[in-house]
């Protein structure tokens, strides 16, 4: 299975840090956020990686190259303009192959074991959900009997980690579009499964959260 890291965003909430450095290359614990992902993905057996690029994408290529130093093979999917999550994945489908693939947001940190993930036959998506963080108390979706539902209680937050089948994007057209409407349509047909990750997960969307993660990682404590 191949994996895609979403790294094309401008990082508006991270400004001024992202005015000169792309968000994936911001560091925590002495290494760029995207390198944390690459190392964990390779350790879990994901060696063929796709990274989409937007703002200052040339810096990401210069920093990561072909991925060989981590035992990975990296392909890049540049976007101009940035295509949002759904459009970015759709554009990268030729790199991801005909089978299910893993997608992870570039601006999170988690101890999730990627090696244990899979997409059941006939399903279009499998989402990793987490407890609602303080900045997102209402959550995104409900989880019942292994099925993710657009409505219902209690609600959990989508972690930014999901497995998708290319058929989820079958009726899409090139251009910018969000992922959430595709997921909700698939949920309506009971074709989205999920699981609750109770371990460590951080949304590294602001300078304050980045500093907090950096302090935890450098201090040797739990992020």
What does the pLDDT read at residue 119? Answer: 96
Overall domain count for the chain: 1
Average pLDDT, the chain: 94
Domain CATH number, residue 176: 3.90.550.10
For residue 140, tell me if it sits in a domain: yes
223 within some domain: no
- The domain of 211 spans 3-218
The whole-angstrom separation of Cα 118 and Cα 98 is: 15
**How are beta strands 48-53 and 147-149 bridged, if at all?**
unpaired
Nearest Cα residue to 72 out of 95, 43, 99, 101: 43
pLDDT in tens, 106-125: 999 999 999 989 999 999 99
Question: Does position 222 have pLDDT exceeding 80, yes or no?
Answer: no
- CB of 86 closer than 8 Å to CB of 182: yes
Enter the tokens of residue 115. Answer: 């090696």
In a domain, 29, yes or no: yes
Q: Per DSSP, what are the bridge partners of residue 52?
A: 77
Label the pairing between strands 201-203 and 125-130.
unpaired
Domain membership flag for residue 76: yes
């Amino acid at each position: 299975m191949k994996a895609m890291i979403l790294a094309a965003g401008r990082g508006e909430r991270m400004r001024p840090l992202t005015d000169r450095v792309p968000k994936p290359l911001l560091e925590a614990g002495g290494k760029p956020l995207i390198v944390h992902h690459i190392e964990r993905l390779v350790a879990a057996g994901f060696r063929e990686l796709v990274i989409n690029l937007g703002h200052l994408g040339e810096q990401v290529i210069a920093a990561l190259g072909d991925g060989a130093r981590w035992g990975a093979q990296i392909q890049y999917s540049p976007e101009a303009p940035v295509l949002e999550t759904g459009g970015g994945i759709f554009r990268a489908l030729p790199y991801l192959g005909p089978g299910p693939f893993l997608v992870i947001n570039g601006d999170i940190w988690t101890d999730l074991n990627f090696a244990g993930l899979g997409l059941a036959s006939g399903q279009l998506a499998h989402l990793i959900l987490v407890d609602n963080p303080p900045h997102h108390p209402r959550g995104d979706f409900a989880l019942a009997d292994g099925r993710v539902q657009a409505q219902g209680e209690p609600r959990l937050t989508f972690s930014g980690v999901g497995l998708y089948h290319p058929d989820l994007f079958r009726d899409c057209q090139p251009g910018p579009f969000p992922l959430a409407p595709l997921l909700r349509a698939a949920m309506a047909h009971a074709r989205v499964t999920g699981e609750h990750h109770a371990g460590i997960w951080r949304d590294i969307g602001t300078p304050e959260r980045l500093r907090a993660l950096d302090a935890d990682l450098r201090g040797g404590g739990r992020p």
